[in-house]
Amino acid sequence: MYENVDRQILGDLYLSRQGMEFLTQLVEDYGPRFGGSDEERAAAAFIVDKFRSAGADDAWTESFECTSWKRNTTELQSTSPQARDLDCIALPYCPPGEIEAPLVYLGDGHPQAYEENMTAMKDAIVMVTTATPKFYHRTMHRGEKLGRAVEAGAAGFIWMRGEPGGLPETGSARFGRACEIPAISVSYETGHEILRMASNGDVRLKISSDNEIFETESLNAVAELRAPENDAEHLVVGAHYDGHDISQSAADDGAGTAVVLEALRALAPHRDKLKRTIRFVGFAQEEMGLMGAEDYAQEHSSDPIRFMLNLDGAGRGENVSFILQGWPETMKYFRQMNKDMFETDIAVGDSPSLYSDMYPFSARGIPSATLRSTPQASSGAPRGYGHTYWDSLDKINPRYIQADAARVARLLFRLATEEDPPLKRKDPAEIGEQLTEMGFDKVLRYEGRPVPGE
Ligand SMILES: [Zn+2]
């Protein structure tokens, strides 16, 4: 059965222009789709329309309340050893206000640098780079680096880009709530301008900002391909359609949303063979703290979801990874499936992450994974052009959208037709234990998030 369906999926997608057309319209007509904005809500309605015309049995929006933020003016100045105006941008959830304080620089933010500067950080502006800490066993997310500074009593936070290129990197300061302290971002070059001043004496900096924080509503866009008989147990595949206000957010994650849509289009003609219904979701507010996925997972926590596949970072390149989120016992099963599909270059691993839309599902014990592909054109930074001004359409190759959509459609078709795939729910406490073993319990606390099962 798979061979004919595979041929059709591959042929349909290879010839489809609609993924790229959708992405172009999404970013050009709806802008960055910043979480909680009118454009984000309008984009949700647009995606529902597209889900319908791609062949969904039904498509709708699900709304939730959330805290949003609006960028106004933010200024950074040095007051000592010399007065200078410096370029900066605010991180989302940076509160309004003004502070002046001495600078403490922690380099790439290795935990040891935090420990050595516990006293110095109190009432200071802590600057740390976006780079992955050298000589540490794992990556450290912005949320953790900022959370550690807040816990040490810092007065302000500067997120300095770790690589040259004049690009400050954005990213929400907190998960779905106002940050306690002003939090801004500077480019590598501005960061070094500040550090050069520090060699002539202690640097004092002033940050002033009049951003707004307010309550609003966002919408997840949901569609369904219904299995003819078993319409209870289902699969969920999704990507976040919201983006950062400073860019088109074409790769992160407009491209992933296009992959969701194209996988739906390719699977629609085969819905009569499905044993499990498939839900396709465009999640809102991921960039502001996984709020759309959190709401969906919460509202549907008693739904019989057999598997959740996240596509944050899909459709961007040829180095494809399929990363399970705490189900290492299923690696063998997925490796075999890729072999059977002749998708031999997909790297399969198990490496739980706290930072995208699969996490609210895995934290509730729902088997989940994320499929992403690495961009070819990159700035050399861990995020590439993601979260910068230049996450733009010109970086997107339509072939990567087609190829990832075909991988996802073929994989979902197998999971939706197999009698009993080895995907079992876990007790959230077990997920919590796994994360604690990896040291993520502390990270969640720095970020003000609960440990699963607690
Ligand atoms: Zn993303």
Confidence band, pLDDT 50/70/90 cuts, at residue 200: confident
Q: What confidence score (pLDDT) does residue 376 get?
A: 60
Among 433, 391, 432, 417, which Cα is nearest to 227's? 417
- pLDDT > 80? residue 344: yes
What is the reported pLDDT for 380? 65
State mean pLDDT over 135-147: 95
Angle between helices 256-267 and 38-53 (to 10 degrees): 20
Q: How far is the CA of 28 from the centre of ligand 1 (A)?
A: 18
| Domain spanning 73-210: CATH 2.40.110.10 | no
Rounded to the nearest angstrom, the distance between the alpha carbon of 349 and the centre of ligand 1 is: 20
Whether a cis peptide bond, with omega within 30° of 0, leads into 81 is: yes
Query: Among residues of the chain, what percentage have pLDDT more than 70?
Result: 98
Per-residue model confidence (pLDDT) at position 232: 78
Q: Which two tokens stand for residue 190?
A: 């501005």
Kindly indicate the confidence band of residue 229, based on its pLDDT and cuts at 50, 70 and 90: confident
Flag whether pLDDT at 241 surpasses 80: yes
DSSP string, 184-195: EEE-HHHHHHHH
> What's the pLDDT tens digit per position in 85-123?
999 999 999 999 999 999 999 999 999 999 999 999 999
Span 310-337, mean pLDDT? 96
The pTM assigned to this predicted structure is: 0.96
**pLDDT tens per residue across span 37-71:** 999 999 999 999 999 999 999 999 999 999 999 99
Three-state secondary structure of 370-383: EEEEEECCCCCCCC
Q: Rounded to an integer, what distance in angstroms lies between the CA atom of residue 411 and that of residue 413?
A: 5
Ligand 1 center to residue 40 CA distance, Å? 15
According to the model, what pLDDT value does residue 369 have? 98
Between the CA of 246 and the centroid of ligand 1 the distance, in Å, is 14
pLDDT tens string 10-25: 999 999 999 999 999 9
Percentage helix, strand, coil for the chain under 3-state DSSP, each rounded to 5: 35, 25, 40
Count of H-run helices and E-run strands, the chain? 14, 16
Main-chain phi, psi angles of 134, to 5 degrees:
-75, 145
Which pLDDT band holds residue 177 (cuts at 50, 70, 90)?
very high
In the reported structure, the alpha carbon of residue 275 is separated from the centroid of ligand 1 by a whole-number distance in angstroms of 30
Compute the mean pLDDT over every residue in the chain, rounded to the nearest whole number. Answer: 96
- In the predicted model, what is the mean pLDDT of residues 406-410? 98
Angle formed by the axes of helices 256-267 and 18-30, to 10°? 140
| Cα 78 to Cα 75: distance, rounded to the nearest angstrom | 10
- Position of tokens 């509503």? 217
Average of per-residue pLDDT across 302-307 = 95
Q: Which residues surround ligand 1, an ion (CB under 5 A)?
A: 252-253, 312
CA of 287 to the centre of ligand 1 (A): 7
Write down the CATH number for the domain with range 2-69+214-423.
3.40.630.10
Same fold, 2-69+214-423 and 73-210: no
DSSP string, 210-251: --EEEEEEEEEEEEEE--SS--SSEEEEEEE--B-TTS--II
Choose the weakest-confidence range: 21-30, 210-219, 370-379, 425-434: 370-379
Confidence of residue 4 (pLDDT cuts 50, 70, 90): very high
What is the rounded CA–CA span in Å between residue 290 and residue 150?
A: 21
| d(CA 407, ligand 1 centre) in Å | 19
Q: What is the mean pLDDT of residues 358-366?
A: 98
pLDDT at 384: 83
- pLDDT at residue 299 in the model: 97
Rounded distance from Cα 314 to ligand 1 centre (Å): 9
Is the pLDDT score of 377 beyond 70?
no
Domain locations in the chain as residue ranges: 2-69+214-423, 73-210
Antiparallel, parallel or unpaired: β 368-375 and 347-350 = unpaired
Percent of the chain residues past pLDDT 90, beyond the cut: 94
308/361 Cα distance (integer angstroms): 7
Cβ atoms within 10 Å, residue 85: 9
Task: Supply the pLDDT for residue 201.
Answer: 86
Sort residue 218 into left (φ over 0), alpha (ψ -120 to 50) or beta. Answer: beta
Q: Is residue 231 scored above 70 in pLDDT?
A: no
> Which position has the token pair 């010399």?
82
